[in-house]
Amino acid sequence: MDTLTHDLIILGSGLAGLRAALEAARVSGGQLNIALVSKLQLMRAHSVAAEGGTAAVLRPEEGDSLELHAWDTVKGSDFLADQDAVEFFVREMPQEILQLDHWGLPWSRRADGKIAQRPFGGHSFPRAVFAADKTGFQEMQTLYDTLLKHTRRSVRRYDEVFATAILMEAGRFAGLTVLDMVGGRTLLLRGKALILATGGAGQIFGFTTYSETVTGDGLAMAYRAGLPLKDMEFVQFHPTGLVPSGILMTEACRGEGGTLTNSQGARFMEKYAPKMMELAPRDIIARAEMTEILEGRGTPGPEGLDFVNLDLTHLGAAKINERLPLIREVCIKHIGLDPILKPIPIRPVAHYSMGGVHTDLRGRTPAENIWAAGEVACVSLHGANRLGTNSTAECLLWGRVTGEDAARYVAQAPLPDAPSAAAQAEAQRLQALLTQAGSESHYAIRTELRQTMDASMGVYRTGAAMEAGLKKIRELKERYRHIQVRDKGRVYNTDLIHALETGFMLDAAEVATAGALARQESRGGHARRDFTKRDDENWLKHTLATITPDGPRLDYLPVTITMWQPVERKY
């Protein structure tokens, strides 16, 4: 096994990973040897799919404030967010928007030339900064261009290199084992520190907005390495997934004035959130939609996906073409429907993991030389429910923070001992997986896992369904031990990659379901039919899941409250 050594390794090349690489290079004056590792070609990271905007307070003179953004976020989180993290976030984000502006991001503008902002769900002021409906793509492109311009000599890219394990020595990060897909080699990447920026685990669901590559790799590797996962039971279902594909119909559709109607043509949100209507938080709208569908006011759809409607027709062609061009293009290409002329069929869709690797306010994990940023991390900023536009913002801010802190750490830290024995054991595991003549299909296991998660961990949950789901996941994990990888080659073996991804997905799904089954309340994205109320006396706390031979061990941490005590959420 070849060994390559770097000062800092960044795993993941989305918004958080790119921002971390830029900041680490800047802080070190280009003197650090930084590895940027991605299982994809760099600009294929799922961050390019973010559409609607990025939250920041830019208009205090027009009525917005840091306190208002913080309150909206804490209330939106159903009071599970750590309020010190929220305060730090809202204070720092305006500078991130201006930094991207200085780097050349083509933000949409107002008539007076200032950066435009639009309304988003759960926000009481229009603070979503946007670039039409391609915000994530433009942010990624700007960071990528800046990386090429300023840090070419200090950042080495490892594109299409798949990480299989985080290796620890004496409780500290020592290296990564990776598969060089193009070269067909197993490599050991050693480093003084690691920043995890691998995104979420949305592919554990069947109906999801996520790219096929978002399979919880970083979450599972961190969990297997002994790091705790926090609040994984909280999964966000975006209210507007295109039927039948699940492609995201950005919340900007509603921010620009789109409405939700049922099969009877009624704007049903007035029953559920009479003040904010279609701009209520996502968990509230998702439950409202499912209630309409379950009570017979949806429209029968393909593959059993009954739907309600997202109506943009009243916005007019000019506004749709200016503000929502991607939405129109996707609808026409995928279902042959022009949203200028007809409403869009939508239903709630798995969209985001509020939980992740447990970190402190600076993105530091319990391992002294591992940081985590973006969706793979749980600071906790989002608590039980994330507000739209706070996620791309989180990636940018904690990408910067972790890049800065890790760069300063590695400038003074020694290189840990080589994890030779652990690396050799991982290489033997991969070889055994490649050569074993198993009887199970990992593709079938993945399909069954996703069906199980859709059935047991959806918008509405029950103890009985989750218990059955957890039992099924553990049966699938046992069957997974007997899978067969049919492609025995080394170069670009996507069969092997998919098999490894399925193993990661099983771990992420088990942790999420175990945490949800234990949490006997309804809060944010975790809505139980058998425990319908929020229970602050018993459950105003974070779940921590740590690996054991028998599955996740669940412990709990208090929520950090600095200003606002929990109250009833009304919109």
What gap in Å lies between CA 180 and CA 190, rounded to an integer? Answer: 15
Determine the longest span between alpha carbons in the chain, in angstroms.
Answer: 68
DSSP state of 407: H
| Cβ pair 521, 508 in contact under 8 A | no
Q: Which residue out of 238, 323, 450, 461 is catalytically annotated? A: 238
The strand pair at 344-353 and 235-242 is best described as antiparallel
| Cβ pair 358, 365 in contact under 8 A | yes
Task: For residue 66, give both structure tokens.
Answer: 């840091």
- Of 82, 74, 71, nearest to 560 by C-alpha is 82
Active site residue 238: yes
| Cβ pair 379, 361 in contact under 8 A | yes
Active site residue 153: no
Q: Which residue out of 254, 364, 442, 569 is catalytically annotated? A: 254
Half-sphere exposure of residue 137: CA atoms within 13 angstroms, side-chain side: 8
First to last CA, the chain: 58
SS (H, E, C) 60-111: HHHCCCHHHHHHHHHHHCCCCCCHHHHHHHHHHHHHHHHHHHHCCCCCCECC
Helix (H) or strand (E) holding 477: helix 463-480
What gap in Å lies between CA 285 and CA 348, rounded to an integer? Answer: 9
Q: Give the count of beta carbons closer than 10 Å to the beta carbon of residue 27.
A: 18
What gap in Å lies between CA 224 and CA 196, rounded to an integer? Answer: 14
DSSP state of 36: E
Helix axes 494-518, 463-480, angle to 10 degrees: 150
> DSSP states of 311-377 as a string?
E-GGG-HHHHHHH-HHHHHHHHHHHS--TTTSPEEEEEEEEEES-EEE--TTSB-SSTTEEE-GGGE
Cβ neighbors of 549 (< 8 A, separation 6 or more) are none
369: left (phi over 0), alpha (psi -120 to 50) or beta: alpha
Catalytic residues: 238, 254
